[in-house]
């Protein structure tokens, strides 16, 4: 398999074009090739020298924790680094004055295949802003670590009124698209696809997860250290919408979940009784070193995936949340604080895409009813996946 970055050497017309123009770069620490060389090291080999660098959430260097605004800075080579994750919605997009001296924006971002992971939305906003400023965009595509088949998707599309930076367009939670495909799909919807070209993947088998790639998994953010983290994340991120700890401040974020008021042995038994496949919930106790319940002993579980092909992270963690609420109704609560720049909609609703799941959990609906209602992916998404793949082929950079 060759990712977009690894094809620059053979795309001579593209590299010559980029070398002759004023280029900006949107990247992060995982923007590396199979030899773990960063895009910033590879571009100068083709006489491409970005004049400005943009960084997504967590920063170009990847140091910041979740939902922490990042300031502008300079790269080790002295290039201005502009943060696209500040303290306001406006800061999520490049501003016209930041694009004024550019001809082309080059994007190389690794994604983890979940709607709530914000890098795909940063890329989309950058493409739209660049097009408005008459700047072209070239996106170096990367595969989806959770696979690219419709059968691997999960989680209903958002209802009207529930779009946010954890889902700017109606998209399943586990969406099955590459970075290039999802950005191209919604760039077409926004009317700016003619300004976007994609260097597509070569040799990626859509059924293959990241464990089948010929390269190491590089952490894409501070709490996404391994492929196992990415595999549970379509469900694990739901915990952010509750007062349960999602394991931040432990060495296994999103795999470890709990709170001081949770009996891990009971939670593990009840999760096993749901009959959901592909995992074992192991009772666990832990003490987070930061964020929720910092320094307090928590009971809970660690989700061990035993069969990645059958595991359904979204359904599994919905059940986990519902069972936790039943176990400790006086202590459990859904998050009401500001979440990803939204004040008036509960975080759990933004993550699930409607109020349906939260209301069913609060009403202690049957687990089977909750999962059936919430986990369905609209069959129309299969058509959209095919449309995205066709659009990338139409706008692909050729040798």
Higher pLDDT, 73 or 182: 182
CB of 250 within 8 A of CB of 222?
A: no
- CA 327 from centre of chain: 30
Q: How far apart are CA 13 and CA 46, in angstroms?
A: 11
Section 165-171 average pLDDT:
96
CATH number of 5-213+381-394, picked from 3.40.50.740, 3.10.20.600, 3.40.50.1820, 3.40.50.12170: 3.40.50.12170
pLDDT at 399 over 80: no
Interacting residues of 140 by C-beta distance below 8 A, sequence separation 6+: 3, 4, 5, 8, 39, 106, 107, 108, 199
Pick from 159, 161, 199: nearest CA to 179 = 199
What are the pLDDT digits (tens) for 226-282? 999 999 999 999 999 999 999 999 999 999 999 999 999 999 999 999 999 999 999
Cα torsion angle, 338, 339, 341, 342, sign? negative
For residue 67, name the pLDDT band (cuts at 50, 70, 90): low
pLDDT at 74 over 90: no
**pLDDT of res. 96:** 96
Higher pLDDT, 133 or 86: 133
Domain parsing of the chain, residue ranges: 5-213+381-394, 227-375
CATH architecture assignment, domain 227-375: Alpha-Beta Complex (3.90)
Section 178-203 average pLDDT:
97
The answer to whether domain 5-213+381-394 and domain 227-375 are alike in fold is no
In the chain, how long is the greatest CA-to-CA distance? Answer: 64
Helix 179-189 vs helix 380-394: angle between axes, to the nearest 10 degrees? Answer: 100
Q: How far apart are CA 333 and CA 239, in angstroms?
A: 11
What are the pLDDT digits (tens) for 331-389? 999 999 999 999 999 999 999 999 999 999 999 999 998 888 667 788 899 999 999 99
Calculate Rg over the CA atoms of the chain.
21
Reduced DSSP (H G I as helix, E B as strand, rest coil) percent helix, strand, coil of the chain, to 5? 35, 15, 50
Section 202-228 average pLDDT:
94
Q: Evaluate if pTM is beyond 0.85.
A: yes
């Amino acid at each position: 398999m060759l990712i977009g970055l690894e094809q620059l050497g053979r795309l001579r017309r593209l590299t010559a074009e980029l070398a002759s123009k004023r280029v900006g770069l949107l990247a992060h620490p995982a923007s590396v090739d199979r030899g773990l060389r960063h895009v910033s090291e590879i571009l100068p080999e083709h006489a491409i020298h970005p004049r400005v660098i943009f960084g997504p959430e967590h920063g170009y260097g990847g140091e910041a924790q979740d939902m922490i605004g990042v300031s502008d800075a300079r790269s080790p080579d002295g290039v201005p680094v502009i943060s696209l994750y500040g303290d306001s919605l406006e800061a999520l997009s490049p501003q016209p004055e930041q694009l004024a001296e550019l001809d082309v924006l080059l994007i190389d971002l690794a994604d983890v295949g979940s709607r709530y992971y914000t890098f795909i939305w940063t890329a989309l906003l950058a493409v739209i802003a660049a097009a408005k400023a008459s700047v072209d965009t070239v996106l170096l595509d990367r595969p989806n670590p959770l696979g690219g088949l419709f059968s691997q998707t999960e989680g209903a599309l958002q209802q009207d009124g529930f779009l946010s930076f954890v889902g700017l367009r109606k998209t399943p939670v586990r969406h099955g698209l590459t970075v290039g495909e999802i950005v191209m799909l919604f760039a077409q919807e926004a009317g700016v696809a003619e300004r976007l070209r994609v260097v597509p993947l070569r040799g990626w088998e859509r059924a293959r997860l990241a464990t089948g790639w010929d390269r190491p998994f590089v952490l894409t953010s501070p709490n996404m250290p391994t492929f196992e983290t990415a595999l549970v994340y379509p469900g694990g991120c739901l915990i952010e919408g509750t007062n349960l700890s999602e394991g931040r401040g432990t060495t296994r974020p999103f795999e470890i979940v709990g709170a001081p008021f949770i009996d891990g042995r009971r939670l593990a038994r009840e999760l096993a009784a749901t009959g959901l496949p592909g995992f074992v919930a192991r009772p666990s106790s832990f003490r987070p070193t930061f964020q929720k319940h910092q320094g307090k002993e928590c009971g809970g579980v660690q989700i061990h995936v035993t069969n990645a092909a059958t595991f359904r992270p979204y359904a599994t963690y919905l059940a986990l949340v519902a069972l936790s609420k039943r176990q400790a109704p006086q202590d459990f609560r859904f998050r009401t604080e500001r979440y990803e720049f939204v004040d008036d909609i509960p975080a759990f609703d933004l993550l699930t895409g409607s109020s349906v799941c939260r209301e069913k959990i609060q009403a202690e609906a049957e687990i089977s009813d909750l999962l059936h209602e919430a986990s369905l992916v609209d069959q129309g998404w299969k058509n959209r996946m095919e449309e995205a793949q066709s659009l990338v082929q139409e706008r692909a950079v050729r040798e």
